[in-house]
Amino acid sequence: MTMSLSSYFTIPLFLCLSSLHLVSPFPSFGGQIDYDYNYNYNYYERSCPRLRMIVQNGVWAAFKTDTRIAASLLRLHFHDCFVNGCDASILLDDTIDFRGEKNAFPNRNSARGYEVIDSIKADVEQACPSTVSCVDILTLAARESVLLSGGPYYPLSFGRKDGFTASEKAANEQLPSPIEPLENITAKFTSKGLDMKDVVVLSGAHTIGFAQCFTFKRRLFDFKGTGKPDPTLESSALANLQGMCPNKDASNRNLAPLDSASTYRFDNAYYVNLVNGTGLLESDQALMRDPKTSAIVTAYSSNSYLFSADFASSMTKLSNLGILTGRNGQIRNKCGSVN
């Protein structure tokens, strides 16, 4: 697949948001932010001025050999922040003291991009030793992945610190499931300081990437125990997916694009798919069954700039969830282990 670098950096009109240095309020379910530690846009301006360039180069190098990596890094960031806050806990390996998040059910044989973050961290350490946290690297890598795929710029503050622990149990309990009812997913979002609109907006990240067949296969053959396919799934999409994911266990790890219309391009086609009944995941298509969420889906399906602006806002909110600052965290030497 041949792609020019310039085609991936089309920035929408709301680029002016980048002039915002501080984002407020900060949703925090992990304690209040200590403003004395100067969590802000320019945090690394003097201590690591080449940080963004290093992260950009690392993400681009990975993308050249693996076009799926942009979606994988974005998902890794979401799964980190959604479990007890943005603290790079998802990057920690298991120890004798805890079972971490890497092997939790939503992440096992699914979450990807660890080696990309480790590589970027090594490059950052060479340029700025013991200065930049793994969580700030992951957060920035997610934004660069969105930009690289043609999505919007959004402002980020920096100065997050890495956490000291991780929890497999918390990941299993807190991360939304693709077969979970919409009301349960919404409740998980609201528990983090997010809202129903954020559910719809952040689900739009499924405009890029793939899903393994086992995450949606019941829609194709035995929807909710009926022995029949999901009646809301458009017939040609159903036939296509049944070909990708035959009704046998051997197909469980096969991949299908979350947005078949523009698999690697960050755009609003995901919402067009939902309106047309061709959403892949059960939790995605469920957004069309609730009047409140379906109205937002319909609006985004016809207005890509509205989606981009709202996605930028929701990603900034996500990146501030439950962060650690000051002595509440550390700057890990290596992202997979606590110092």
Is 198 labelled a binding residue? no
Is 72 labelled a binding residue? no
Is 130 labelled a binding residue? no
Is 338 labelled a binding residue? no
Is 136 labelled a binding residue? no
Is 36 labelled a binding residue? no
Q: What SS3 string covers the chain? A: CCCCHHHHCCCCHHHHHHHCCCCCCCCCCCCCCCHHHCCECCCCCCCCCCHHHHHHHHHHHHHHHCCCHHHHHHHHHHHHHHCCCCCCHHHCCCCCCCCCCCCCCCCCCCCCCHHHHHHHHHHHHHHCCCCCCHHHHHHHHHHHHHHHCCCCCCCCCECCCECCCCCHHHHHHHCCCCCCCHHHHHHHHHCCCCCHHHHHHHHHHHHCCEEEHHHCCHHHHCHHHCCCCCCCCCHHHHHHHHHHCCCCHHHCCCEEECCCCCCCCCCCHHHHHHHCCCCCCHHHHHHHCCHHHHHHHHHHHHCHHHHHHHHHHHHHHHHCCCCCCHHHCECCCECCECC
> Is 77 tagged catalytic?
no
Identified catalytic residue from 79, 160, 161, 192: 79
Is 89 labelled a binding residue? yes
Is 267 labelled a binding residue? yes
Is 85 labelled a binding residue? yes
Which residues are known binding-site members?
80, 83, 85, 87, 89, 101, 176, 206-207, 259, 267
Which residues are annotated as part of the binding site for Ca(2+)? 80, 83, 85, 87, 89, 101, 207, 259, 267
Known binding residues for heme b are 206
Residue set of the binding site for substrate: 176
Q: Which residues are catalytic?
A: 79
